[in-house]
Amino acid sequence: MWIVELLPDWVLHLILLAGIVGTTAGFVLGMIPVIKQYIIPIRVISIILVVFGLFLEGALFDNQTWILRVKEVEAKLAIAEAESAKANNKITEKSNTQNNKQKEKTVIVKQYIDREVKRYDNQCVIPNEFVKAHNDSAERAK
């Protein structure tokens, strides 16, 4: 609420206090001639101040409650962000390890192909139909 954020807390307390003092003066000290002269405006203004002051006190209390809740959530989120970053590092590391293992495996398989399969290169003719079937399967569907 902008009024609560704009004005310092003591101003809000002062408005309520002024209202209470004014109301007390307007109803209890009515017999004093100086006060009696302005009794109606004092009563009206004081009651307005009490109502507005109470409203602002409620808003202030509500605002403070929310500030506490926000701080609580911010603290929880900070913990969550730290945990999230830690978990991310772990996952990334795991995925990198798996990818490296896969690459190493491919290198070993390629070495095996050069050593064992290459011998059959002259004995085996790969038909173009096989190549077509392979390439069609390897192509991403559009």
- In the complex, the residues that contact other proteins under the rule CB under 8 A are 1-3, 55, 59, 62, 66, 70, 73-74, 76-77, 79-81, 83-85, 87-88, 91-92, 94-96, 98-99, 102-103, 105-106, 109-110, 113-114, 117-118, 120-121, 124, 126, 128, 130-131, 134-135, 138-140
Q: Using CA atoms, how far apart are residues 1 and 60, in angstroms rounded to an integer?
A: 9
Rounded least distance, CB 95 to other proteins, Å:
4
Nearest CB to other proteins, comparing residues 29 and 133: 133
In the complex, what is the shortest distance from the CB of residue 29 to other proteins, in angstroms, rounded to a whole number? Answer: 28
Q: Are 23 and 50 in contact (CB under 8 A)?
A: yes
Sign of CA dihedral 5, 7, 9, 12: negative
Residue owning tokens 């070993």: 108
CB of 33 or CB of 122, closer to other proteins: 122
The CA-CA-CA angle for residues 60, 53, 17, to 5°, reads: 110
Looking at the Cβ atoms of 24 and 88, the one nearer to other proteins is 88
Residue 31 CB, shortest distance to other proteins, in Å, is: 31
CB of 140 to other proteins, least distance (A): 6
From the CB of residue 16, how many other CB atoms can be counted at a distance below 10 Å?
Answer: 19
CB 30 within 8 A of CB 36: yes
